[in-house]
Structure 1
Amino acid sequence: MRNRGGLKIRLLIGGAIILFSLFKYYSNREVNEYTGKKQSITLTPEDEIAIGLQSAPSMAQQHGGLYPSQEAQDLVDRVGNSLVNNSIARNTPYQYDFHLLRDPEAINAFALPGGQIFITYALFSKLENEDQLAGVLGHEIGHVVGRHSAERMAKQGLTQGILSGVMVGADGGAGQMAAMVANAINMKYGRGDELESDDLGVKFMIKAGYQPEEMIGVMQILKSAAGPNRVPEFQSTHPDPENRIEKIKEAIEKYR
């Protein structure tokens, strides 16, 4: 009887934790005025800017610092600022800064909350023209405008709260199963963010006068870099490059 009573208490506490997590998540729903997408976000734009500025130096350090060429950095700045100044990005409260990183091995580009955007020299050196660079930077600007980092933080808070509730109210096996489900959900959200950023990137490229078809070339570069042993899409936060190419073609038709 005592064990049954303890289980009932654990279930009540676990349920309360889950309900609180759901309430916190859904009470912070708002429409992103730049994308029209409804999101759950707990950070203000000022919070996002502060997080990005605080994190930028350590992120650069992880990739060997900045690439030692002012000419190359000037090109990145010129293309990035052209995309911002000719699109809805200029109306956002974010501070856009573009950083060319020294890293010669990791083929990557990424954005921190609030407008700090990075591209490694490993990727920069493989790009064939300025339009492809615009494709990469436009995609990353899309992450900032879409507030994907802030949205992801809120979603991780929700899944962590649900996991905590399950772990309190159930046995270890159920908790492990819940963790696997939560991880799969977050991956799905990640793929959705990537596709939205591709869509926004195409829109920004067209507005700034770049050829959006060159973003397809970027996808081919990424596919080639991943090689034949790339992770299957359902196990990855990024959609398969072939799927992204199809969506990019649709976006080109839509915005042109």
Structure 2
Amino acid sequence: MLSNQIRKYTTGIILIVIVVLISVLLFFRKTQLNPVTGKKQHINLTHQQEIELGLECAPDMAARFGGLYSNTDIKNKVKVIGQKLVAVRQVSKSPYQFDFHILADSQMVNTFSFPGGQIFITRGLLKLLKTDDEIAIILSHEIGHVMGRHTTEKLSGFDILEKFKDSTHVITNYSPNQINSYITDLLKITFDSEEESEADELALKYMVEAGYNPKAFPEILEKLSGKSEIPGAEDFLNRHPVPENRIENLKSTIIKYHKRK
């Protein structure tokens, strides 16, 4: 009798250990090392799946914000600045396919990046940027989020990405409902202080290497953070919070970059 109880107890313990081991193995199977940040991230997608999903969603993303801005000169300016930034050594060696789009919405002040390299800036935010350096600041920050795979990591638990579990091949032709759900989830994302700091650090690195002056970076954040009343800026701040230490950290990092020159 006692022997049977011990046997059942031992069997139960063994089953629990097996379940725990399987869970750990599955977790690490879906954990990827980011060569840019050196961090391990819990991500379901391959780089190619990120690219394909972003490309599929880009037209619907534009449609949500009144389409793409039609001014050819301004569109070309943003694309040229963006391409200079992604030509820097670290970004150019990545597998991502970057492209830069201006959303026609002139009321919203915001910027978005899809995993894989599709980057959007609203006309409302672009109107506030007076120089190429200021445009480069916003674009390079979003490039930093892509390279840091911040959005991909946040979305890895969402329903649309469940189909990629244990999958290495590319799946295209998403249904309209899947695309709509993915964009909706992406637009809800807010970045935490660690992700913002990481994107800032990468942004400064890319700007300096591309030949842009990052000194206006903290000034833009101060402007958007409410020290001057900007209609629509709350959209930007909800997505990219600007605590006081973020601005101070930026100023310190910029000084370090200038000392290296």
Q: Equivalent residues in 2 for 1:28-47 (5 A)?
A: 28-47=30-49
**C-alpha separation between the residues in 2 aligned to 1:56 and 1:17?**
40
Query: In 2 relative to 1, CA 134–103 (structure 1 residues): closer, same or farther, beyond 3 Å?
Result: same
CA contact (8 A) 1:191 1:237 kept: no
Match of 2:61 among 59, 65, 68: 59
TM-superposed CA distance for 1:101, in Å, is 1.2
Name 1:119's counterpart in structure 2: 121
**C-alpha separation between the residues in 1 aligned to 2:192 and 2:28?**
19
SS of the equivalent of 2:45 reads coil
1:69 aligns with 2:66: no
Name 2:13's counterpart in structure 1: none
TM-superposed CA distance for 1:84, in Å, is 0.6
Give the number of aligned pairs.
Answer: 210
- Flag structure 1 segments of 5+ consecutive residues without an equivalent: 1-15, 161-185
Kindly provide the amino acid, as one letter, of the partner of residue 194 in structure 2.
G
**C-alpha separation between the residues in 2 aligned to 1:61 and 1:187?**
19
Kindly provide the amino acid, as one letter, of the partner of residue 246 in structure 2.
R
CA contact (8 A) 2:108 2:125 kept: yes
**C-alpha separation between the residues in 1 aligned to 2:46 and 2:35?**
14
**C-alpha separation between the residues in 2 aligned to 1:18 and 1:188?**
32
TM-superposed CA distance for 1:230, in Å, is 6.1
**C-alpha separation between the residues in 2 aligned to 1:122 and 1:237?**
15
Identity fraction in percent: 40
Query: In 2 relative to 1, CA 245–125 (structure 1 residues): closer, same or farther, beyond 3 Å?
Result: same
Name 1:7's counterpart in structure 2: none
**C-alpha separation between the residues in 2 aligned to 1:21 and 1:247?**
39
**C-alpha separation between the residues in 2 aligned to 1:126 and 1:21?**
49
1:221 aligns with 2:223: yes
Q: Equivalent residues in 2 for 1:1-256 (5 A)?
A: 24-154=26-156, 190-224=192-226, 238-256=240-258
Query: In 2 relative to 1, CA 23–238 (structure 1 residues): closer, same or farther, beyond 3 Å?
Result: farther
- CA deviation profile, 1:143-183 (whole Å, cap 9, x unmatched): 111111211123558xx9xxxxxxxxxxxxxxxxxxxxxxx
Query: In 2 relative to 1, CA 189–77 (structure 1 residues): closer, same or farther, beyond 3 Å?
Result: closer
- Flag structure 2 segments of 5+ consecutive residues without an equivalent: 1-17, 163-187
**C-alpha separation between the residues in 1 aligned to 2:191 and 2:234?**
20
Query: In 2 relative to 1, CA 151–83 (structure 1 residues): closer, same or farther, beyond 3 Å?
Result: same
CA contact (8 A) 1:80 1:137 kept: yes
CA contact (8 A) 1:94 1:115 kept: yes
TM-superposed CA distance for 1:43, in Å, is 0.5
The root-mean-square deviation of aligned C-alpha atoms, in Å, is 3.1
Larger Rg: 2
